[in-house]
A = this chain, B = another copy of it.
Amino acid sequence: MKKSHGPKTLAYPLPAWLVGTYDENGAPNIMTAAWAGILASDPPVIGVSIRPSRATFDGITLHKAFTVSCPSAALAVETDFAGIVSGRMHDKFREAGLTPAKATLVNAPYVEECPVVAECRLLKTLELGSHVLFAGQILDVKAEEGVESENGSLDVPRIDPLVYSSAGYFRLGEFLGPAFSIGKKLVKAVPQPEQ
Contact = CB atoms under 8 A, between A and B. Distances in A.
Given A51-B194, A172-B13, A183-B79, A43 B123 contact: no
A131 B155 CA distance: 26
B169 A175 contact: yes
A81 B187 contact: yes
A133 to B, nearest CB: 5
Contact of A8 (B44, B83, B112, B186): B44
A76 B81 CA distance: 33
Interface in A152-195: 153-156, 159, 161-191, 193-195
Contact of A70 (B12, B43, B46, B180): B12
A62 interface: no
A15 B17 contact: no
A47 B37 contact: yes
A36 interface: yes
A140 interface: yes
A122 interface: no
Interface in A25-71: 34-47, 49, 51, 53, 68, 70
A116 interface: yes
B10 A15 contact: no
B44 A35 contact: no
Contacts of A137: 7
Contact of A14 (B37, B123, B124, B140): B37
Interface of A: 1-15, 17, 34-47, 49, 51, 53, 68, 70, 73, 76-86, 89, 95-96, 101, 104, 112, 116-118, 123-124, 126, 128-131, 133, 135, 137-145, 148, 153-156, 159, 161-191, 193-195
* 10 tightest Cβ-Cβ pairs between the two chains A and B: A173-B173, A37-B37, A80-B183, A81-B183, A12-B161, A40-B128, A42-B130, A40-B131, A168-B178, A2-B142
